[in-house]
Chain A
Amino acid sequence: MKRLTLNAAAVVVLVTTIFPVYWMFLTAFKPTGDIQSATPAFWPAHPTLEHFVTAVNAPGFWTYWRNSLVVTVAAVLIALVTALLAAFAVARMRWRGRGAFVIAVFAAQMAPWEALLVPVFIIARDTELLDSLAMLTGVYFMITLPFTIVTLRGFLAAIPPELEEAAQVDGCGRLAAFRRVVFPLLAPGLMATSLFGFITAWNEFAFVNVLIIKDQDKRTLPVWLSSFRDVFGTDWGATMAAASLFALPALLLFLFLQRRVGTGMTAGAVKG
């Protein structure tokens, strides 16, 4: 009896959690007639792709999709490279000022970014970087960088330096030792941090609203989707299709990376 109550409660939580996501995809696949019926259908009886066709053919869709992708991927990659260098210095070297640097990185993780909307806007205007994807990339890079450094440092510290030393004894240079031994072991860490960076940049809404002003072709998907009423009016099928296309990369990436992150890849490397 207790078991049954528990399972029933779990099913309620499960349905509540999943329902908005399900409803988004379901509406996107429903023909307009079904969407507008007085009694909603909870199953795709007559699936159609018409709303996806409308969404994809909406003016600028592909431009915004490309902008989002370019900004996100660039910000994540630059942050990964920059963070890897810094994390290596922190985890593997001893130098004056290291403690202060680590504290600064931790503090930067809590940076009040929404307080920086006005100054970043003014700086962008003064340097003629308004309406530019480069400025946007720079901001997203900086938002994700502190977290990336902290996480990669943790992963690096967990890899015993003896592994690298062994490779160096075996005739590898320091760079080659890093590339062949440490880098593969660091893969879960790189995935974890790039997932976080991707979600942050893909979602970002406030800065793109402030930095992209006149040139509508530089907008990203969140801004475009937030103005769906101007684009689709009351066409909820197309709106949900657009939302699905925006959400899909994040959902897929999440489900794909979730399993790989945190698996102990070094588990057998030292003990054996």
Chain B
Amino acid sequence: MRTRSGSIWPYLLIAPTVAGGAFLLLYPLLKATVISFQHFRMGELIRGGAAFAGLDNYAELLSGTEFWQVLWRTAGWTAINVVLIVVLSTGVALMLVRLGRGLRLALMSALALAWAMPIIAATTVFQWLFQSELGVVNWLLVTLGFDSFRGYTWFANGTATFAVLVILVVWQSVPFAALTLYAGLTTIPAELYESARIDGGNGWQVFWKITVPMLRQLFALVASLEVIWVAKCFPQIWVLSQGGPDGATTTLPVYAFKIARVLHRYDLGSAVAMLTVVILAVALVSNLRRMVRQ
């Protein structure tokens, strides 16, 4: 490092970053925190002069039933998606290692293509796939003999809408997770597997005794990223169902958005967002700690 300490150059070089971060990240973050402790609704938005409200917003949330419903729904939504994503992408990664070169390249290109598909484009396509009269999914189900799906309206039923959203999010998330885990798998020396085979281990044992321990940190990382991604997932849900029908797909980010944008309760919306951040941070830190330590 050749620059003498005390030179002004490094500070000039980071100045744009610092300025951007201060105005567009730090300041909004402080403001979000402050608003969550204020009485800030339509009136305050127009007139200004929001009053300090202490913990009123948080008390209102935590004492009501709706917030807890949404919280548990979000937990379920995250758990179902993340388990499916990790299990399926592990399967795909293990498959990629064993495939011949041609098929492997084809599958990897397909994964890359699905990965690059813009979120809203994919969401629109899934609405078309699951369309009641002309959708190809209903056609396939009827052809396979499930006659009750003839003209079935997926988006009128809470559970069905939830299921479609899970399929959509899993489809969008598996490529990244699978390609990352595949990259990790290729770093495990082949000798390890050979010696395990010689010692008489079957495929299942080899997976749990060698692959999983070797890739523990990568698994922890992928799972954590997916937890963040799924728990905070908003555009897919908003476009597909706006949290409906009857709130069946309202997760925390959708709830916060609804409260702020539709009900103009900016204070309560900020409180929901703050609680989401805290819950996620606590869950992730404890999870990461546990998985890395094991």
How far, in Å, is A252 (CB) from chain B's closest CB?
Answer: 9
How far, in Å, is B215 (CB) from chain A's closest CB?
Answer: 20
The residue from B13, B257, B274 contacting A86, defined by CB atoms under 8 A apart? B13
Q: Is B28 touching A250 in the complex (CB atoms < 8 A)?
A: no
How far, in Å, is A44 (CB) from chain B's closest CB?
Answer: 15
The residue from A36, A117, A203 contacting B118, defined by CB atoms under 8 A apart? A203
Q: Is A222 touching B24 in the complex (CB atoms < 8 A)?
A: no
Q: Which residues of A contact B123 (CB under 8 A)?
A: 226
Select from chain B the residue with minimum beta-carbon distance to A101.
B14
Select from chain B the residue with minimum beta-carbon distance to A98.
B10
Q: Which of A185-193, A236-244, A264-272 contacts B (4 or more CB under 8 A)?
A: A236-244
Q: Is B27 touching A225 in the complex (CB atoms < 8 A)?
A: no
Select from chain A the residue with minimum beta-carbon distance to B260.
A118
A202 to B260, CA, bound (A): 24
A8-30 at interface with B (beta carbon < 8 Å)? 9-11, 13-14, 16-18, 20-21, 23-24, 27
- Tell me whether B53 is interfacial, beta carbon within 8 Å: no
Q: Is B124 touching A117 in the complex (CB atoms < 8 A)?
A: no
- Tell me whether A35 is interfacial, beta carbon within 8 Å: yes
Known A-B contacts A7-B99, A39-B139, A123-B31; the reply to A206 vs B116 at CB < 8 A is no
Select from chain A the residue with minimum beta-carbon distance to B11.
A95
Q: Which residues of B contact A216 (CB under 8 A)?
A: none
How far, in Å, is B190 (CB) from chain A's closest CB?
Answer: 18
Q: Which of B156-164, B193-201, B234-242 contacts A (4 or more CB under 8 A)?
A: B234-242
How far, in Å, is A208 (CB) from chain B's closest CB?
Answer: 10
Q: Is B120 touching A117 in the complex (CB atoms < 8 A)?
A: no
Q: Which of B55-63, B66-74, B128-136 contacts A (4 or more CB under 8 A)?
A: B128-136
Q: Is A122 touching B45 in the complex (CB atoms < 8 A)?
A: yes
Known A-B contacts A94-B3, A141-B20; the reply to A10 vs B253 at CB < 8 A is no
Q: Which residues of A contact B13 (CB under 8 A)?
A: 85-86, 88-89, 93
Q: Is B28 touching A116 in the complex (CB atoms < 8 A)?
A: yes
Known A-B contacts A114-B256, A118-B35; the reply to A21 vs B117 at CB < 8 A is yes
The residue from A6, A123, A161 contacting B98, defined by CB atoms under 8 A apart? A6
Select from chain A the residue with minimum beta-carbon distance to B18.
A101
Select from chain A the residue with minimum beta-carbon distance to B253.
A114
Select from chain B the residue with minimum beta-carbon distance to A206.
B234
A172 to B175, CA, bound (A): 45
How far, in Å, is A228 (CB) from chain B's closest CB?
Answer: 6
Q: Is A142 touching B276 in the complex (CB atoms < 8 A)?
A: no
- Tell me whether B112 is interfacial, beta carbon within 8 Å: yes
Q: Is A23 touching B125 in the complex (CB atoms < 8 A)?
A: yes
The proximity string for B residues 270-282 relative to A, scoring 1 for CB distances below 8 Å and 0 otherwise, is 1001101100100
Q: Which residues of B contact A118 (CB under 8 A)?
A: 32, 35, 260, 266, 269-270, 273
Q: Is B131 touching A123 in the complex (CB atoms < 8 A)?
A: no
Q: Which residues of B contact A119 (CB under 8 A)?
A: 27-29, 31-32, 35, 270
Q: Is A254 touching B121 in the complex (CB atoms < 8 A)?
A: no
How far, in Å, is B213 (CB) from chain A's closest CB?
Answer: 24
**Chain B residues with a Cβ closer than 8 Å to the other chain, count:** 77
A217 to B16, CA, bound (A): 30
The residue from B17, B32, B92, B116 contacting A83, defined by CB atoms under 8 A apart? B17
A57-99 at interface with B (beta carbon < 8 Å)? 81-83, 85-86, 88-90, 92-96, 98
The proximity string for B residues 12-42 relative to A, scoring 1 for CB distances below 8 Å and 0 otherwise, is 0110110011001101110110010000000
Known A-B contacts A92-B1, A117-B260, A255-B112; the reply to A142 vs B25 at CB < 8 A is yes
Select from chain A the residue with minimum beta-carbon distance to B27.
A123
A220-247 at interface with B (beta carbon < 8 Å)? 221-222, 225-226, 228, 236, 239-240, 243-244, 246-247
Q: Which residues of B contact A104 (CB under 8 A)?
A: 21
- Tell me whether A251 is interfacial, beta carbon within 8 Å: yes
- Tell me whether B206 is interfacial, beta carbon within 8 Å: no
The residue from B21, B99, B235 contacting A142, defined by CB atoms under 8 A apart? B21
- Tell me whether A45 is interfacial, beta carbon within 8 Å: no
Select from chain B the residue with minimum beta-carbon distance to A168.
B2
- Tell me whether A182 is interfacial, beta carbon within 8 Å: no
- Tell me whether A43 is interfacial, beta carbon within 8 Å: no
Which 3 residue pairs across A and B have the least CB separation, nearest first?
A254-B116, A115-B273, A119-B31
Residue numbers of A with Cβ under 8 A of B are 6-7, 9-11, 13-14, 16-18, 20-21, 23-24, 27, 35-36, 38-40, 81-83, 85-86, 88-90, 92-96, 98, 101, 104-105, 108, 110-112, 114-120, 122-123, 125, 138-139, 141-142, 145, 149, 161, 199, 202-203, 205-206, 209-210, 221-222, 225-226, 228, 236, 239-240, 243-244, 246-247, 250-251, 253-255, 258
Residue numbers of B with Cβ under 8 A of A are 1-3, 5, 7, 9-11, 13-14, 16-17, 20-21, 24-25, 27-29, 31-32, 35, 45, 92, 95, 98-100, 103, 106-107, 109-126, 128-129, 131, 134, 136, 139, 171, 174-175, 228, 232, 234-235, 238-239, 253, 256-257, 260-261, 266, 269-270, 273-274, 276-277, 280
